[in-house]
Amino acid sequence: MGSVGLQGTSGRTSSSEIVNKSGEELKEMNGEKKSNKKSSYFRKFGCLKIEENSKKGNAAETTGEPANPTHLVIMVNGIIGSAQNWKFAAKQFLKKYPRDVVVHRSKVNSSTLTFDGVDVMGDRLAEEVISVKKRHPSVQKISFVGHSLVMNLKIKDNCVQEKPRGKIAGLEPVNFITSATPHLGSRFHKQVPMLCGSYTLEKAAARMAWFLGRTGKHLFLTDVDDGKPPLLFQMASDSENLKFISALESFKRRVAYANASFDQIVGWSTSSLRRRNELPKRQHLSRHEKYPHIVNVKTTENTIPQHEISEAKAYDCKTFDMEEEMIRGLTKLSWERVDVNFSGSMQRLMAHSTIQVKGSFINSDGADVVQHMVDVFLL
């Protein structure tokens, strides 16, 4: 079968071949020319091709051989990020599953567009998913892989069908994977490590949330419109119009990758969906033999019977412990928690980006974490 070209944002195709050398994906990425090449081939995968917008560097889609993949993988960047951030991970998915998946690195929420608010970004992502699905009629399953804030989007109820085991955009939901994501927001004590646990600094940061637009208000849970609770708080349960938990429940597995140390932006508790007194003792963490920066893997079962998801309680900002209520709501479902520690790495101070391999050179130590994500991925 000949090479399959996938349309990028420009609607045109242009290609140049890059010879793939096993085990040198990071070096290859560093050596690519960014300004005049729109696509690249990996001969090892037969017809694998990646196309990009030459001006913005935003990837469109990657697929393998044959041209009838059954599993759509949507990769979502974090705040002030772009599709380019997932370039390394996308290559690893295609290396592992060249015949089964099409990987789409979302491009509708990039750079300053990530300031528009979690709800607005969610609408854009939903429309993008539907558009991508139409271009790939053979896909039957869907998975999401996201870094940092944006994966708090979850999936809105208008995309979920056929309950109780719903479908998203007509596809079977399989993996919902987050990486260094502030599931509980950044408002609460010690959720933003760079603030050093200072209540004064944490309060000041919440007051400055507007600096990140509506997204900042959502992140610090300072958005209170018409007496409604903050959006992230609503997303921890089902309400009359928003069925976030039911949508999340429809996935076969939910996975949270969390930095146990050195992430100055997102704390271990919020990214791993644990109370601080539930965090493993660091001295008890041990490095994985195959994935040296993974120090703990644990799966917790859901705490309520399947499909019995409660509606949101009446909100009272004066009496509610929002952090506790959010943890209770989100952990009603089973989660796989993967704790990561870059202790000893020269890239440890950039842990928030290294866990994703956001940059192929300065964040390369996170390659084993990405490989773990790929190896345990449920097709």
Is the pTM for the entire model greater than 0.85?
no
289 burial via Cβ count (<10 Å: 0-12, 13-18, 19+): exposed
In tens, the pLDDT along 271-298 reads: 999 999 999 998 889 999 999 999 999 9
Confidence label for 201 from pLDDT (cuts 50, 70 and 90): confident
**What does the block give as tokens for 151?**
């994966």
With beta carbons less than 8 A apart as the criterion, state whether 303 and 332 touch.
yes
Instruction: Tell me which of 55 and 3 has the higher pLDDT.
Output: 55
Q: What confidence score (pLDDT) does residue 244 get?
A: 84
Q: Report d(CA 20, CA 119) in Å as an integer.
A: 40
In tens, the pLDDT along 13-70 reads: 333 332 333 345 555 555 544 444 443 333 333 334 444 444 444 445 666 555 789 9
Within 10 Å of residue 93's Cβ, how many Cβ atoms?
Answer: 25
